Amino acid sequence: MKKHNFNAGPSILPKVAIENTAKAILDFNGIGMSILEISHRSKDFQAVIDEAVSLFKELMEIPEGYQVLFLGGGASLQFCMIPFNLLNKKAAYLETGVWAKKANKEAKLFGEVDIVASSADKNFSYIPKNYQVPADADYFHITTNNTIYGTEIRYDIDSPVNLIADMSSDIMSRKVDVSKYALIYGGAQKNLGPAGVTFIIVREDILGKVERQIPTMLDYRTHIKEGSMFNTPPVLPIYTILETLKWIKSLGGISVIEKMNIEKSDLLYNAIDNSKMFEGPAAKDSRSLMNICFVMKEEYKDKEDAFMEFAKQRGMIGIKGHRSVGGFRASTYNALPIESVQALVDCMHDFEKENA
């Protein structure tokens, strides 16, 4: 039976990226050694990281003055690394979910944090609007996609101060004007590669302006100077990122990926909106392209477990909603084919016919 992978992360990757990574584990570039055992200082791996950086810049149309880094520690390490490098006195944060809260919690260790708006009052089911970003803030931090709640900022904000964005779960899912951001970061394990590597896109001119001393390992300038190789980088995940970037380019780039993602999300959201049994908790103007959350309507709540088992028998993997919100979540990342979304929609229709 075909499996349909809706896991929220680590999540589905392009088949070709997985296959080529598997080949490289056995024999990398025909050199008779696995990529798991080569030196990160070798010419063979330097070529990998150079091409990955180049493709990242090409696909996202990153302007001059920005650097692309591949580091360890996950996006969670960036929650403290960002204020360590950038927060002098005050930072502004938009609170749209658990990960945004974790980010602003770390920033409070380094200075004043202004929560300019929060959607906590409605369990983070919408993206706040009509807020003011203080002009004296060192930066404004947003989390563009909220995996748990199924909301997303699908536009580039005009910020009066340096804009920082956690794009862990929607990187390269839509066209982004990088010039509007001072720093973009995220874990790779949603749209780019396996767990273990974090990408950072940083505009160099924002660095070196804080008054505090920064530990060497936590200073972005260290990693820029050393080309992401100050210490041993996550070699294998970076290789898989390169293979994923090649796949994105082969399809026609991010604009093509965005069109595909809109088609997938429209298909599933239409099924939810026209269902007798299911409904979506996220506000319609805040819905995510990447994480589509839905629940049983009140009169069918007792059938949630039955649907979960029904879906499992049909090959649906990873659709259980996060424990903090319940219900169901279908993560429709770049590599998920529309056929899998159609299979889930058919599953929902069939279950509804039998039980509604």
Which residues are identified as catalytic? 99, 166, 190
Q: CB neighbours (10 Å) of residue 114?
A: 15
Q: How far is CA 264 from the centre of its chain?
A: 17
- Least Cα distance to 10 among 152, 144, 150, 168 occurs for 168
- Which residues are within 8 A (CB) of 259 and not within 5 positions of it... i.e. 6 or more apart? none
Task: Describe the chain by its helix, strand, coil percentages, rounded to 5.
Answer: 40, 15, 40
Cα 350 to Cα 316: distance, rounded to the nearest angstrom: 14
Radius of gyration of the chain (CA): 21
The three-state secondary structure class of 201 is strand
Q: What is the SS3 assignment for 173?
A: coil
Rounded-to-10 torsion of CA 103, 105, 109, 115: 90
The answer to whether the CB of 128 falls within 8 A of the CB of 119 is: yes
Instruction: Let me know the angle formed at the C-alpha of 31 by 36 and 224, rounded to the nearest 5 degrees.
Output: 55
- Sequential DSSP letters for 71-132: ESSHHHHHHHHHHHHH-SSEEEEEE-SHHHHHHHHHHTTTSEEEEEEE-GGGTT-S---S--
